[in-house]
Amino acid sequence: MTSWGKGYQRRGRSPDQMAGFEGQVALRPGSAGANMSAMSGRRRKVVFAAFEHIQILGVVGPSEVLDAATQVLGGEKGYDLSIATLHGKPVRCSSGMRLQADAALAHVKPRGGDTLIVGGSMRFEQVADDPFLRAAIQRVSHGARRTCSVCTGAFLLAGAGLLDGRAATTHWAFSADLARRHSGVQVTPDRIFVRDGHITTSAGATAGMDLALALIEQDHGADVARAVARWTVMFLQRPGGQSQFSERLAIPAGVAAPLREVLDQVVAEPAADHRLAELAKRATLSERHFRRIFLDQNRHHTGTLRRAHPSRGRPRAA
């Protein structure tokens, strides 16, 4: 697997200042295979556990964020990334793309990884009950400083007994299923990620990038995490929980302009001034006309427009 050398550096600049400035990037081959120690020089070893039908974004997303940290840190510190599969063979992702493995999970030495990250899949049922994969994840986790999951990877951690008595999250669509299958897990469905001791679980596939940013902050501090967030064009910390992302979808598709545009603005910026006079002004309507249109549309869509009202949006963004 390839790792980054020195990159995105500017002499005399702090890590936060480096984000947004392009420097020189050099590639050098990393140490592939199973001969891994938790620290390579001053880098931390991160092992991604992959399996058939894994979502590639749950691997690529966090790895790119961690790699950005390595570049911001100048290449000497940061992370060495590798992929391990059950038998050390390539796996076919849910998208149909093949993911090459650096090692078999069984060949990862005890304490051979600082961090284990288990990805997720919409077809996790096909692997969640695999006793060999479960045992391999459990063994590598016990030797790692911390263990993480992305999306439905939480089901694999739970199956290995790693979430017993712990708080955890997963993709919102599977939260109830996780609670039903694993009653010993304290499922918190409204969180981007949940850290409980040395175990951290995250929500949907893109939340793996938020997870990686949190790991960077834990390892290297807020300044480096902020620099990486700027460089990768991410929130350092997303506003609200997972449920906020359903607010825009709650506005019915049949709501016509200009009301829809105004409601989209309310959801996008719940803390802004959304008094009736301001809303009517944006819609280029009189207050009376705007109120009448809103009430008519709300009745037509069985009250669902009230979900976009600032009285709902503001608390979620607080």
| pLDDT tens digits, one per residue of 17-53 | 333 322 222 222 333 333 444 554 589 999 999 999 9
* pLDDT value at 3 more than 50: no
**At CA 67, angle to CA 61 and CA 68, rounded to 5?**
95
pLDDT tens for 163-200 read 999 999 999 999 999 999 999 999 998 888 999 999 99
pLDDT computed for residue 34 by the predictor: 37
Strand partners, 79: 44
Of 157-166, 242-251, 258-267, the one with minimum mean pLDDT is 242-251
| Max avg pLDDT among 53-57, 276-280, 287-291 | 53-57
Task: Give pTM, 2 decimals.
Answer: 0.69
Range of the domain at 305: 247-317
Q: Is residue 236 part of a domain?
A: no
- DSSP, collapsed to helix, strand or coil, labels residue 9 as coil
Give the torsion through C-alpha atoms of 130, 133, 139, 143, to 10 deg: -140
Average pLDDT of every residue of the chain: 79
Same structural domain for residues 116 and 223?
Answer: yes
How many other C-beta atoms can be found within 10 angstroms of the C-beta atom of residue 214? 20
Tokens of 20: 């947004």
Which of 231, 266, 283 corresponds to the end of one domain? 231
Name the band, by pLDDT with cuts 50, 70 and 90, for residue 139.
Answer: very high
Q: Please tell me whether residues 281 and 190 are part of one structural domain.
A: no
Instruction: Please indicate, yes or no, whether residues 32 and 149 belong to a single structural domain of this protein.
Output: yes
The pLDDT score that the predictor gives to residue 221 is 93
Is there a single domain that holds both residue 251 and residue 226? Answer: no
Q: Determine which of 99-108, 236-245, 303-312 has the lowest per-residue pLDDT on average.
A: 303-312
**Better pLDDT: 111 or 121:** 121
Tell me if 237 is assigned to some domain.
no
What's the rounded Cα separation, in Å, for the pair 122 and 176?
Answer: 15
pLDDT at 252: 57
Q: Flag whether pLDDT at 249 surpasses 60.
A: no
Pair (158, 196) in one structural domain: yes
Instruction: Please indicate, yes or no, if residue 285 is contained in any of the structural domains.
Output: yes
Overall number of domains in the chain: 2
pLDDT in tens, 77-91: 999 999 999 999 999
CA atoms within 13 A on the CB side of 235: 10
Domain boundary among 171, 204, 231: 231
Q: Is residue 37 part of a domain?
A: yes
Q: Which residue has the higher pLDDT, 3 or 212?
A: 212
Any idea what the CATH number is for the domain that residue 115 is in? Answer: 3.40.50.880
- What percent of the chain clears pLDDT 70, i.e. is strictly above it? 74
241 domain residue, yes or no: no
Residue ranges in the chain assigned as alpha helix (H): 15-18, 57-72, 125-128, 131-143, 153-159, 175-181, 207-220, 222-231, 259-268, 276-282, 287-300, 310-317
Q: Are residues 309 and 204 in the same domain?
A: no
- 108 shares a domain with 37: yes
pLDDT greater than 90 at residue 98: yes
Angle between helices 57-72 and 207-220 (to 10 degrees): 30
What's the CA gap between 82 and 2, in Å, rounded? Answer: 9
Nearest to 241 by CA among 207, 271, 217, 265: 207
The per-residue pLDDT for 301 is: 60
Q: Are residues 222 and 287 in the same domain?
A: no
Identify whether residues 186 and 135 lie together within a single domain: yes
- Same-domain status, 26 and 149: yes
Whether 9 and 64 map to the same domain: the answer is yes
Q: How many residues does the chain have?
A: 318
Q: Please tell me the predicted confidence (pLDDT) of residue 317.
A: 38
Q: Give me the pLDDT at residue 306, please.
A: 53
pLDDT at 149 over 70: yes
